């Protein structure tokens, strides 16, 4: 597009931030509260959970009874987007199976995530097995920022003193649900550690924060929270930053590239307005990318110039490489002990009430690193698809006479089974460490653009034996726990499905495309997430991760972004950026 067609702003901001999720939101919050003039560009719509959440709506208020035909997790889920978005394709190569989730809304994916909030541990930053590169920072360097995030946002949990599962500053956790008491018993017999969950939900009101209410345990965090009782970047970071008067948000802004000058420094950002399809340029002294690991890599690779012919911050050639997502495999069944159970409200928090941190020694196993287990179930609001869980148990379901029978059916028999089985089901899911590998990557597809004319990403990703063996161990563990619970369940996933191992991208934990490191020849960013090649460019999402642990990425993104934002303030004071 020629310069004559691009609408250029005459205003220059101190900072422009691309993305409003955990990373972009935290950077905007810190900088705006410090008096910095910030412009935030969000690719999706404005979203305030207080006004826009579908919390407490009944399934029949949806024409699809809440089914996921318009959104992957159901009509009432707070995710505007999904693995496929009209007009925004991505491609794959070499028979890759990769699914890229995008959330086009203020706050990004933080509006609908599980709120499981785990710190990475010392061995996640500096691994003992030597299989992957170390981070250029240690847990002790990040710990002060984890502590600040805990106090500022709120997280429940208990102090356990586990070496690689660091304790935080916790609110009281919710009690286990009834089915979870059976899980605890079954896991204990299997030698599997279980501790109270750690979730970004306010089980108590935060002191000195009148804008957020304490959780009233409706179990619907995935819909986002009208009283701001859980963490979303929109409610906890971006909207408070807007109130300072120092943060301006432009929504529906699809960023094409970072603009640089002849010296190679960032001068601003070019974006396409999704509504009028016009291209705009905004100016800034510093540029921060927090668009997600995939999207930020895409922006840098599309930001080619004479000073950066291979893409911005990519003299090392690593941008897009070392992409990795969490492993995931799951199982479930039902507890006949809970049939015809007493009805009461045990919805609880929308995050986990119990979970299993990694409990084994890899020296005795045939795969590296480990996984944690998340557990669920209980008397949540019935929804579309509940009968599927019953029908899947055909031939296993005991009738009132104690003999197996075909479950569900129609009319009176279906209603009877609903009443008897409601609240008996449970599930468990492993979430584990995938090794960061150079040959798992995303790149620019030379032949495909989206409807805004922006070249799209092409993915190449293969699971290795390490991840498949890890999924096998998950399935074997689930079987033992379910047997010990006295549950009724199907057989384990086998080698024909890689032991139930989900395709890369399905767990929505992808990290590592713009890795940090001390050596500019092997990394794109320094230890403060500042580009080696462009001193006024920073990345604050999951892209800087050198190697993910088995922990969910969000709490580390928040801590790292806060650390980077405070570094930017120091560098501004020293006139370095």
pLDDT at 78 over 60: yes
- Residue 98 within any structural domain of the chain: yes
Residue 294: pLDDT band by 50, 70, 90 thresholds?
Answer: very high
527 lies in some domain: yes
Q: Is the pLDDT of residue 114 over 50?
A: yes
**In-domain check, residue 23:** yes
Determine the average pLDDT of the residues in 497-509: 97
Q: For the chain, what is the mean pLDDT?
A: 93
Is the pLDDT score of 387 beyond 50?
A: no
Q: State residue 402's pLDDT score.
A: 61
8 A C-beta contact, residue 22 and residue 564: no
Residue 485 pLDDT > 50: yes
**Residue 376 pLDDT greater than 70, yes or no:** yes
Mean pLDDT of 221-244: 97
Residue 55's domain comprises 1-156+198-324+448-461+511-577
Question: What pLDDT is attached to residue 420?
Answer: 84
Percent of the chain's residues with pLDDT above 70 = 93
The per-residue pLDDT for 549 is 96
At 532-568, the pLDDT tens digits run 999 999 999 999 999 999 999 999 999 999 999 999 9
Burial (CB count within 10 angstroms: exposed 0-12, middle 13-18, buried 19+), residue 284: buried
Strands of the sheet containing 371-377, edge to edge, are: 195-196, 354-356, 371-377, 425-432, 327-334, 488-489
Q: Give the pLDDT confidence score for residue 403 in this predicted structure.
A: 64
pTM tops 0.75, yes or no: yes
Residue from 174, 191, 43 nearest 107 by CA? 43
| 404, part of any domain | no
* Domain annotation covers residue 129: yes
Supply the angle between the helices 465-485 and 178-190 in degrees, to the nearest 10.
110
First to last CA, the chain: 30
CB atoms within 10 A of CB 67: 15
Residue 302 — φ and ψ, nearest 5°? Answer: -85, -5
Task: State yes or no: pLDDT of 389 exceeds 50.
Answer: no
pLDDT at 388: 39
Q: Average the pLDDT over 104-128 and give the result.
A: 96
Q: Is residue 275 part of a domain?
A: yes
Residue 375 confidence (pLDDT): 97
> Rounded to 5 degrees, what angle do the CA atoms 7, 10, 14 make?
115
81: CATH: 3.50.50.60
Residue 100 and residue 509: Cα distance in Å, rounded? 10
Distances in Å between the alpha carbon of 528 and those of 126, 515, 538? 17, 11, 8
CA distances from 331 to 14, 80, 337, 426, 481 (A): 50, 28, 19, 9, 11
| Any domain includes 139 | yes
How far apart are the C-alpha atoms of 349 and 140, rounded to whole Å? 30
Mean pLDDT of 120-133: 95
Task: State the Cα–Cα distance between residues 192 and 74, nearest whole angstrom.
Answer: 33
Q: What pLDDT score was predicted for residue 422?
A: 86
Q: What is the structure's pLDDT at 398?
A: 63
Over residues 193-214, mean pLDDT: 96
Question: What are the tens digits of pLDDT across the range 326-345?
Answer: 999 999 999 999 998 888 88
- Per-residue pLDDT of 343-365, as tens digits, reads 888 889 999 999 999 999 988 99
Q: Into how many domains does the chain fold?
A: 1
Run of H or E including 17? strand 7-18
% of the chain exceeding 90 in pLDDT: 84
Count Cβ atoms below 10 Å from residue 68 Cβ, excluding itself: 16
Kindly state the tokens that stand for 500. 């139930």
pLDDT tens-digit profile of 166-197? 999 999 999 999 999 999 999 999 999 999 99
Q: Does a structural domain hold residue 61?
A: yes
Q: Does residue 392 register a pLDDT over 60?
A: no
Per residue in 414-452, pLDDT tens?
A: 788 878 888 899 999 999 999 999 999 999 999 999 999
> Which pLDDT score is estimated for 414?
79
Instruction: Measure the CA angle with vertex 457, ends 98 and 312; round to 5°.
Output: 130
**Predicted confidence (pLDDT) per residue in 394-410, tens digit:** 445 566 666 666 666 77
Q: Which single residue is written with the structure tokens 């008996």?
A: 424
123: confidence class by pLDDT, cuts 50, 70, 90:
very high
Q: State the Cα–Cα distance between residues 78 and 80, nearest whole angstrom.
A: 6
Report pLDDT digits (tens) over 34-76: 999 999 999 999 999 999 999 998 878 887 776 666 688 888 8
């Amino acid at each position: 597009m020629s310069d004559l067609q691009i609408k250029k702003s005459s205003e220059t901001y101190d900072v422009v931030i691309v993305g409003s999720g955990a990373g972009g939101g935290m950077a905007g919050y810190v900088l705006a509260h410090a008096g910095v003039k910030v412009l935030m560009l969000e690719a999706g719509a404005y979203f305030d959970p207080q006004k826009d959440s579908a919390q407490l709506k009944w399934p029949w208020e949806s024409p699809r009874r809440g089914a996921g035909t318009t959104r992957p997790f159901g009509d009432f889920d707070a995710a505007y987007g999904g693995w496929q978005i009209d007009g925004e394709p991505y491609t794959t190569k070499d028979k890759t199976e990769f699914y890229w989730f995008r959330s086009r809304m203020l706050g990004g994916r933080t509006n609908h995530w599980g709120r499981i909030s785990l710190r990475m541990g010392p061995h996640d930053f500096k691994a003992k097995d030597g299989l992957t590169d170390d981070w250029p920072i240690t847990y002790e360097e990040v710990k002060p920022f984890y502590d600040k995030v805990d106090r500022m946002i709120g997280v429940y949990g208990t102090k356990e003193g586990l070496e690689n599962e660091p304790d935080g500053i916790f609110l009281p956790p919710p009690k286990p649900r009834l089915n979870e008491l059976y899980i605890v018993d079954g896991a204990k017999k299997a030698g599997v550690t279980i501790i109270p969950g750690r979730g970004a939900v306010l089980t108590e009101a935060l002191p000195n924060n009148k804008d957020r209410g304490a959780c009233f345990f409706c179990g619907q965090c995935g819909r986002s929270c009208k009283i701001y009782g859980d963490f979303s970047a929109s409610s906890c970071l971006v909207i408070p930053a807007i109130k300072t008067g120092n943060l301006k948000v432009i929504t529906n802004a699809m960023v094409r590239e970072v603009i640089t000058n002849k010296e190679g420094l960032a001068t601003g950002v070019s974006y396409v307005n999704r509504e009028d399809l016009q291209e705009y340029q905004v100016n800034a002294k510093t540029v921060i990318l927090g668009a997600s690991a995939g999207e930020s890599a895409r922006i840098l690779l599309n930001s080619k110039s004479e000073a950066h012919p291979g893409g911005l911050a990519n003299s090392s050639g690593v941008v897009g490489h070392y992409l990795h997502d969490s492993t995931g495999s799951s199982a479930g069944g039902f507890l006949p002990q809970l049939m015809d159970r007493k009805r009461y409200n045990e919805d609880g928090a929308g995050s986990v009430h119990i979970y299993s941190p990694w409990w084994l020694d890899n020296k005795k196993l045939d795969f590296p690193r480990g996984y944690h287990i998340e557990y669920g179930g209980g008397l949540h609001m019935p929804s579309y698809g509940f009968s599927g869980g019953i029908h899947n148990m055909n031939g296993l379901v005991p009738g009132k006479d104690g003999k197996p029978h075909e479950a569900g059916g129609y009319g009176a028999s279906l209603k009877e089974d609903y009443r008897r089985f409601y609240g008996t089901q449970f599930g468990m899911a492993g979430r584990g460490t995938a090794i960061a590998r150079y040959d798992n990557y995303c790149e620019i597809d030379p032949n495909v653009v989206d409807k805004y004319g922006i070249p799209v990403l092409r993915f190449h990703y293969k699971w290795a034996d390490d991840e498949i063996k890890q999924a096998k161990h998950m399935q074997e563990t689930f079987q033992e726990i379910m047997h010990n619970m006295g549950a009724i369940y199907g057989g384990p996933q086998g080698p024909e499905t890689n032991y139930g191992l989900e395709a890369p991208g399905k767990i929505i934990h992808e990290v590592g495309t713009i890795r940090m490191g001390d050596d500019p020849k092997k990394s794109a960013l320094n230890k403060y997430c500042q580009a080696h090649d462009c001193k006024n460019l920073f990345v604050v999402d999951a892209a800087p991760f050198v190697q993910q642990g088995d922990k969910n990425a969000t709490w580390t993104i928040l801590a790292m972004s806060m650390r980077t934002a405070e570094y930017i303030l120091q560098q501004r004071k020293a006139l370095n950026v």
